[in-house]
């Protein structure tokens, strides 16, 4: 399945050209107002570029499937980190803060323990 696969030079040059074109596209998009979609488009283009680099320059397309699992693990842990951290930060205003938490005290927090 994964014996050495020599990718033709033409493919590399094609991928490189696509990467340069996508860089131009991401700059073009940044100067046009798509509202809140600007960031989504920017990250989307970056993901496509990263995928092209991984699949062809890093030969992932022709590699053993366990390497796909490894690459997927990296993405999964990134999503896990962001989701859990953001769900904390973004939900903080959802509930009222108990008054005692926000009142300044004479002693430093934790000093009484």
Partner 1 sequence: MSSASQANEHVAHHFESAEQQRQSAQLGMWAFLVTEVMFFSGLFAAYIIYRSLYPEAWTVGSHMLSIGLGGFNTIILLCSSLTMALAVHAAQTDKRGASARWIILTIVLGLAFLGVKMVEYSAKIEHHLVPGAHFHLDPAQELANLQAAGVQVGDHLRHAMETVNTAHVQLFFSLYFAITGLHALHMIIGIGVMIWLLKTTIEGRYSSAYINPVEVSGLYWHFVDIVWIFLFPLLYLVGRH
Spatial contact of 58 and 15, defined as CB atoms under 8 Å apart: no
Spatial contact of 26 and 46, defined as CB atoms under 8 Å apart: yes
Eight-class DSSP state of 55: I
Least distance (Å) between residue 111 CB and partner 1 = 28
* Closer to partner 1 by Cβ: residue 1 or 106: 1
Candidates 62, 71, 102, 113; binder of partner 1 (CB under 8 A) is 71
CA gap 63, 1 in Å, rounded: 8
Spatial contact of 17 and 49, defined as CB atoms under 8 Å apart: no
Q: Which range of residues in 74-82, 93-101, 103-111 is near partner 1 by CB under 8 A?
A: 74-82
Looking only at Cα atoms, what is the longest distance across the chain? Answer: 72
Site of interaction with partner 1 (CB under 8 A): 2-4, 6-7, 9, 12-13, 16, 19-20, 23, 26-27, 30-34, 38-39, 42-43, 45-46, 49-50, 53-54, 56-59, 63-64, 66-67, 70-71, 73-75, 77-78, 81-82, 85-86, 89-90
């Amino acid at each position: 399945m994964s014996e050495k696969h020599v990718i033709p030079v033409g493919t590399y040059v094609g991928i490189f050209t696509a990467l340069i074109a996508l860089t131009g596209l991401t700059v073009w998009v940044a100067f046009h107002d798509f509202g809140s979609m600007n960031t989504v488009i920017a990250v989307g283009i970056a993901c496509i570029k990263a995928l092209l680099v991984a699949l062809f320059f890093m030969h992932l397309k022709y590699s053993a499937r366990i390497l796909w699992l490894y690459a997927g693990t990296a993405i999964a842990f990134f999503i896990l980190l962001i989701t859990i951290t953001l769900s904390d930060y973004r939900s903080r205003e959802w509930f009222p803060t108990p008054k005692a938490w926000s009142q300044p005290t004479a002693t430093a927090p934790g000093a009484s323990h």
